[in-house]
């Protein structure tokens, strides 16, 4: 490819991330030129929908969200759909009170340790950038640690909060969205025992056994623990893992945690043949890294359509029932 051709795709994306050296400019341009028409059409529909001021919960909104929220409306839509806006409105000044709260050196040190590790490939988080978002990230995580002392701070939350800051450009909104995720949508994912996270990895295992029995049988035969393969998917909610992460989060804030299972099942089902070639634990770990790359995940529109068709029926009631049995089994194991 000629240098002139390469330069048409900016080296840094709209959120401040540097594109990797092996980034496929040609494939991206080809995809994006056709996708741009869809994005423009969608933006017009959303502007019309939001003219009334609110975001009504309706089948139309659910359909629109599944097709993607335009960047300019994303923060507002996430705030309303997740309940974060209502919490913020009901608690004026609360976020700033948390920042003025009693000092907790242990919490502060834990957060500081992870600041430089958060998005090193994002120019907005570099100390050489002014303003550097590390300070904003520190404030959001510190406030949340004071707000939810049962969780405090846990590795992985830095990526979630960092991403929220990039989308909202607003410290307080990022705090309330983090609270919606950690406190309500994903309970017990980030608590010291991480019971919610461990439970959901087991739930995925049960779903794979039921919907993709060949993969389930391979996992059992090799004695692979799900946590080895998917813990990062769950902890980071696909941040730094899938290029479709924003589209996934659109649905996560609207439809809840079952979206994570839909994404995981779709990735596994789509690459079932590749996974079934694995003959050892390192081999299967490598295959699970491979399935989050390539054209299938790059073409976000097709990918998002697949997550609602490929896994078949998956209600919150089914997920709740599986969580109950998996949680009981984990607690029994001690």
How large is the average pLDDT for residues 172-199?
Answer: 93
- Average pLDDT value over all residues in the chain: 90
| Contact yes or no for 179/95 (Cβ under 8 A) | no
Q: Which residue has the higher pLDDT, 216 or 6?
A: 216
Instruction: Please determine, for residue 3, whether its predicted confidence score (pLDDT) is greater than 50.
Output: no
- DSSP structure string for 41-87: HHHHHHHHHGGGSS---SHHHHHHHHT---HHHHHHHHHHHHTHHHH
- C-beta atoms surrounding 166 within 10 Å: 21
- The angle that helices 71-82 and 157-168 make with each other, rounded to 10 degrees, is 120
Query: Which residues fall within 8 angstroms of residue 119, CB to CB, at 6 or more apart?
Result: 16, 17, 125, 159, 162, 240
Sort 193 into a burial class: Cβ within 10 Å, 0-12 / 13-18 / 19+.
Answer: exposed
Contacts of 276 (CB under 8 A, 6+ apart): 214, 215, 218
* pLDDT value for 4: 42
pLDDT at 8: 66
Residue count (the chain): 334
pLDDT value of residue 19: 75
Peptide bond into 216 cis (omega under 30): no
Strand-pairing partners, residue 12, are 18
Statement: residue 5 has pLDDT above 70: no
> What mean pLDDT is predicted for residues 275-283?
95
**Average pLDDT of the residues in 187-200:** 91
* Range name among 59-63, 89-93, 96-100 with the lowest pLDDT average: 59-63
- Tell which phi-psi region holds residue 139, choosing left (phi > 0), alpha (psi between -120 and 50) or beta: alpha
**What pLDDT score was predicted for residue 24?**
67
Return the structure tokens found at 258: 């079952």
Looking from the CA of 48 toward its CB, the CA atoms found within 13 Å total 9
Contact (CB, 8 A) for 250 and 74:
yes
Q: What are 236-258's pLDDT values in tens digits?
A: 999 988 988 999 999 999 999 99
Report the sign of the C-alpha dihedral through residues 302, 304, 305, 310, in that order: positive
The answer to whether the peptide bond before residue 302 is cis (omega within 30 degrees of 0) is no
Round to whole Å and give the CA distance between 207 and 311. Answer: 9
More confident residue, 295 or 252: 252
What pTM does this model have?
0.90
Residues ≥6 apart with Cβ < 8 Å to 180: 82, 83, 84, 87, 253
Among the ranges given (52-56, 148-152, 153-157, 267-271), the one the predictor scored with the smallest mean pLDDT: 52-56
Which of 28-32, 39-43, 210-214 is least confident? 28-32
Task: In whole angstroms, give the CA distance from residue 186 to residue 196.
Answer: 7
Q: Which of 240, 236, 229 is nearest to 267 (CA)?
A: 229
Tokens of 24: 């496929």
**Burial annotation 214-249 (CB, 10 A radius, 16+ → b, else e):** ebbebbeeeebebeebbbbbbbbbbbbbbbbbbbbb
As a whole number, mean pLDDT of residues 46-72 equals: 85
- Summarize the confidence of residues 123-144 as an average pLDDT: 93
Q: Cα 67 from chain centroid?
A: 16
**The predicted structure's pLDDT at residue 59:** 86
CA 116, CA 137: separation in Å to the nearest integer? Answer: 11
| pLDDT confidence tier of residue 43, bands split at 50, 70 and 90 | confident
Q: How confident is the model at residue 50 (pLDDT cuts 50, 70, 90)?
A: confident
């Amino acid at each position: 490819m000629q240098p002139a051709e390469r330069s048409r795709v900016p080296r840094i994306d709209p959120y401040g991330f540097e594109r990797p050296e092996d980034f496929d400019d040609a494939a991206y341009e080809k995809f994006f030129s056709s996708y741009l028409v869809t994005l423009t059409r969608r933006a017009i529909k959303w502007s019309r929908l939001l003219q009334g001021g609110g975001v009504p919960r309706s089948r139309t909104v659910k359909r629109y969200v599944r097709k993607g929220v335009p960047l300019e409306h994303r923060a507002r839509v996430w705030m309303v759909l997740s309940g974060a806006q209502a919490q913020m409105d009901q608690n004026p000044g609360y976020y700033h009170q948390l920042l003025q709260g009693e000092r907790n050196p242990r919490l502060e040190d834990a957060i500081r340790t992870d600041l430089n590790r958060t998005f090193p490939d994002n120019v907005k988080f570099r100390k050489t950038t002014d303003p550097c978002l590390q300070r904003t990230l520190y404030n959001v995580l510190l406030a949340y640690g004071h707000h939810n002392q049962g969780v405090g701070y846990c590795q992985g939350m830095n990526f979630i909060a960092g991403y929220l800051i990039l989308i909202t450009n607003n410290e307080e909104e990022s705090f309330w969205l983090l609270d919606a995720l950690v406190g309500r949508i994903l309970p017990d994912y980030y608590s010291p025992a991480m019971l919610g996270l461990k439970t959901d990895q087991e739930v995925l295992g049960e779903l794979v056994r039921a919907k993709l029995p060949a993969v389930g049988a391979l996992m059992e035969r090799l004695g692979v623990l799900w946590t080895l393969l998917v813990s990062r998917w769950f902890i980071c909610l696909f941040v730094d893992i899938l290029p479709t992460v924003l589209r996934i989060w659109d649905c996560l804030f609207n439809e809840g945690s079952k979206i994570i299972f839909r994404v995981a099942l779709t990735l596994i089902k789509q690459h079932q043949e590749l996974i079934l070639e694995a003959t050892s634990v390192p081999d299967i770990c490598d295959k699970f890294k491979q399935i989050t790359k390539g054209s299938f995940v790059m073409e976000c529109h097709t990918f998002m359509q697949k997550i609602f068709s490929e896994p078949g029926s998956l209600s919150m009631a089914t997920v709740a029932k599986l969580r109950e049995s998996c949680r009981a089994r984990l607690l029994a194991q001690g």
